[in-house]
Amino acid sequence: MNYILSRNDIPKVLEMWSKTHQVFAPQKYSNFSAFLPYEGKAEQLCLEYPHNTRYPPKALFLPQSEELLSYTKDGQASEPALDAKPKLIFGIHACDTRAMTLLDTVFDAKDYQDPFWKARRESTAIITLGCDEPCSTCFCTTVEGGPFNRQGADIIMTDIGESFHLEALTPKGENLCKDLPYASAAEDRKVSNVQEKATSDMPKAFDTEGLKTALDANFDSSYWEEVQRSCLGCGVCTFLCPTCFCFDIADEAARSKRYRNWDTCMFSVYSREASGHNPRPSRKERTRQRLMHKYSYWVDQIGKIGCTGCGRCVRYCPVGLDIRAMLREAGKLPVEVIHA
């Protein structure tokens, strides 16, 4: 069913949802924005920002630093309690919601499941806020998504002016909307206009047709040497990326705990072996790994590109490297040479 949430009612409705859920909403924080617990400070909300929160909401499921276990002196391990509290993410953009469904294929795989990820996913409802004005760094429509993509959402929310239009997509979503007024037929009509316009306004950022073939054929190409020249290897593209999931595992002896922390393929130590050998010794191999993972290896593994076009890596790269330009160039490379 479709419902209406008037702009003025947002604080009230968030309060209402807070009675049954821990509510996370996009909020200003210091000099950036992130999905933070909503504590009644409506003035901090940044639903109107066209671009994504700088800090990616994947952290709500895969925290930047997370305890895996604690241990005693005699070697007894205890696992932290699973987070099964009902949670609600309000106002997350479609690219970030869709990223969770891609990451599910990693953390909720057939062979091994990650209980910490799974518990948070199962206890969280997601209200996607579609983007009526996608910004210049966005390219979701190029990579199998869209500003109103519904994958992973319990409710899809559309800004129709005075109010937001909410379409409940799952029983979880319906349940959240039960105290809201129904949308009128006229309001429903506004939605398709907004959604279609936003989608058709987005230019194609690069051609994905044949891109994987070109990447695979050019693994040993000098292209990688050229493309990485200005890269600082800071890793911000991967830390802020909603589909990057790599982590390190480290013990903190002072706290008697074992943690996992976000890690990045852009750092040398990431793949350096105990012998000193490193299969990715320079930024050339590491840049190649980042792009190949998203645009070739994900496709091999699950048949989908592992990028949702959120644009964070474009927006926040300190030297202005643009993955779209890199892929446009890669797509033009010759494909005759297939690596042995």
Partner 1 sequence: MPNQQVSPYTPIPMHLLRSYPESVDGALRSIELSFDNPADCRTFYEAYDPGQFCQISIFGKGESAIGVASAAWEGDFVRFTVQRMGVVTTALHQMQVGDALGIRGPLGNGFPLNEWKGKDLIFIGGGSAFSTLYATVLHITGSSLKKEFGRISVIYGTRSSGHALYKESLKRWHENHEIDLFQTIDNPEPNWPYMVGFVPDAVRAVKPSPNNAVAIVCGPPIMTKFTLPILEDLGFKPEAVYTSLEKRMKCGIGKCGRCNIGPKYVCKDGPVFSLAELHTLPNEL
> Using the rule CB under 8 A, is 179 a contact of partner 1?
no
Residue count at the site for partner 1 (CB under 8 A)? Answer: 55
Give dist(CA 74, CA 56) in Å, integer: 38
Q: Min. distance of Cβ 255 from partner 1 in angstroms? A: 10
192 versus 301: smaller Cβ distance to partner 1: 301
> Using the rule CB under 8 A, is 303 a contact of partner 1?
no
Q: Min. distance of Cβ 212 from partner 1 in angstroms? A: 11
Q: 99: closest CA among 259, 264, 247, 298?
A: 298
Give dist(CA 16, CA 338) in Å, integer: 59
> Using the rule CB under 8 A, is 249 a contact of partner 1?
yes
64 versus 256: smaller Cβ distance to partner 1: 256
Residue 283, burial from CB neighbour count under 10 angstroms (0-12, 13-18, 19+) = buried
Neighbours of 74 (CB within 10 A): 5
* Residue 267 tokens, joined: 């750092």
> Using the rule CB under 8 A, is 283 a contact of partner 1?
no
Beta strands, E only, the chain: 2-6, 22-29, 32-37, 65-71, 77-78, 87-92, 124-129, 155-159, 163-168, 247-252, 257-262
Specify the length of the chain in residues.
Answer: 340
Part in contact with partner 1 (CB under 8 A); list of ranges 86-94, 133-141, 151-159, 288-296: 288-296
What phi, psi does 196 have (nearest 5°)?
-65, -40
- Binder of partner 1 out of 20, 184, 193, 256 (CB under 8 A): 256
Exposed e or buried b for every residue in 162-179, given b needs 16+ CB within 10 A? Answer: ebbbbbbbeeebeebbee
> Using the rule CB under 8 A, is 113 a contact of partner 1?
yes
> Using the rule CB under 8 A, is 300 a contact of partner 1?
yes
133 versus 248: smaller Cβ distance to partner 1: 248
157 versus 237: smaller Cβ distance to partner 1: 237
- Binder of partner 1 out of 120, 121, 284, 293 (CB under 8 A): 293
> Using the rule CB under 8 A, is 116 a contact of partner 1?
yes
* Residue 127 tokens, joined: 């209200």
Collapsing DSSP to helix, strand or coil, 115 comes out as: helix
Q: Min. distance of Cβ 20 from partner 1 in angstroms? A: 26
Half-sphere exposure of 137 (CA within 13 A, CB side): 17
> Using the rule CB under 8 A, is 185 a contact of partner 1?
no
Binding mask 262-281 for partner 1 (x = CB under 8 A): -x-x----xxxxxx-x-xx-
Part in contact with partner 1 (CB under 8 A); list of ranges 35-43, 138-146, 253-261, 322-330: 253-261
> Using the rule CB under 8 A, is 20 a contact of partner 1?
no
Collapsing DSSP to helix, strand or coil, 117 comes out as: helix
> Using the rule CB under 8 A, is 305 a contact of partner 1?
no
Q: Min. distance of Cβ 83 from partner 1 in angstroms? A: 13
CB 169 within 8 A of CB 156: yes
* Residue 16 tokens, joined: 């209402």
**Residues in touch with partner 1 (CB under 8 A):** 68-69, 71, 74-79, 82, 106-107, 109, 111-116, 216, 219-220, 245-251, 253, 256, 258, 260, 263, 265, 270-275, 277, 279-280, 285, 289, 292-293, 296-298, 300-301, 339-340
